[in-house]
Structure formats: C-alpha cells, structure tokens
Structure 1
Amino acid sequence: MGLLPARTAVLNYMSTVDEADTQQVMLALKSQYGREKQFTEPLFLEHLMSLECNGYLEQTGYDLDELGNLRIRYKITEDGQSAVEKYVVKEFRH
C-alpha cells in the first residue's frame, strides 16, 4: 500500500497526539516522507496552517525554540478527528 498525501498524513498524525509543532510532525513522518523533495519545514508549516484554516486543527500556543525560531503548536479539532475517521482508511490510522 502506498503513502497518504502529505497533508492527510499530517492530519492523521495529529489525531494521535495531544498537540505538536512542525518539527514534531516532521520527526514523526520522516521515516515515510523524509526522502520526498517536498519534505521541508516551510511546506509542513503550510500543511498545518491550511488544516487550521479548514477547521481541522487549532493553535494551542507558541514560543521560541532554542535557536530563537518561532514554534507554533497545534491540536486536532472534532472536525479534524471526524475527517480522519471518514477519509483515512483504517490501515493508515495510527
């Protein structure tokens, strides 16, 4: 079986954790998507922000990491959880 589209994989991962930031999502998905050319922090931040705009995620907070970069944390919403249950086949769910 192939891979989920990256944005769907991000939402699927978010359904398994209380909250996560871009780095945590990328670390969790690196074994599957790490060799993809588009496996970049800006693109994964865009995935998270897009999922937020669509009501599937919400921000839980933000701070600066040890290098002074902005780190935004997100959690899945009820709509996001419903989307995972509706659109992600059971074999892919965590």
Structure 2
Amino acid sequence: MLLPTRMAVLNHVEKVGTANLEEVMESLKPSYGSEKQFNKELYLDHLMALEANGYLSLKNYRLGTDDELVLSFEITDDGRAAVGKYVPQEYR
C-alpha cells in the first residue's frame, strides 16, 4: 500500500529538508512512476497546494538550464506536524 500522492510529496520534503519538483519526482518515480497522474503539471499542483495550506513554504527560485522556473520548497512546522500525525512510521 502506498501513501496518497500528496502526503508522499510532503513526506519526501520532510525527509530531505528542501526539494524542487524534479527532485520530488525523481525520488517518487520508483513507487508512483507508473501512475497516470505522474506528470510535472500535477506534481507542481501538489507542491503548490501544500504551500497554500501552510505545509510547505517557497524557499527560493531560479531559472534552470532550459530557462524553466525552478521552485524550491521547504517544510513548515505545520507540515512536520502533519507528517508526524498522518504518515505511518514505516514510510518516514
């Protein structure tokens, strides 16, 4: 059984401290890569929704090598509390 995708994204950022879209997708690809929703647009939606709900905050941004905006997010105290409350220990 896998975590819901949005919680898996939050859990990943909690593990590494700071992550961008590419890093999150690379990390979750072995578990979620075969799902139809595994695409940049939807994973960016997950990151932005977690930010809008106060679980992540935008740490920095830059232009990548292909002139695409790269957003880096870090977990907030509320995000850590949510991981602690809702993510089973075996996934952390």
Question: What does residue 20 of structure 1 align with?
Answer: 19
- Name structure 2 gaps, 5 residues minimum: none
TM-score by length of 1: 0.96
Question: What does residue 84 of structure 1 align with?
Answer: 83
**Structure 1: which 4+ aligned runs deviate by more than 6 Å?**
none
Quote the Cα distance in structure 2 between the aligned partners of 1:19 and 1:13: 9
Identity across the alignment (%):
49
- Name structure 1 gaps, 5 residues minimum: none
2:90 counterpart letter in structure 1: E
**Residues 14-37 of structure 1 deviation map (CA, whole Å, 9 limit, x = unaligned):** 111121110000000000000101
1:60 counterpart letter in structure 2: K
Quote the Cα distance in structure 2 between the aligned partners of 1:31 and 1:66: 25
TM-score by length of 2: 0.98
How many pairs are equivalent? 92
Task: State the shift of 1:91 in Å.
Answer: 1.1
**Residues 56-83 of structure 1 deviation map (CA, whole Å, 9 limit, x = unaligned):** 0000010111111011000000000000
The structure richer in helix per residue is: 2
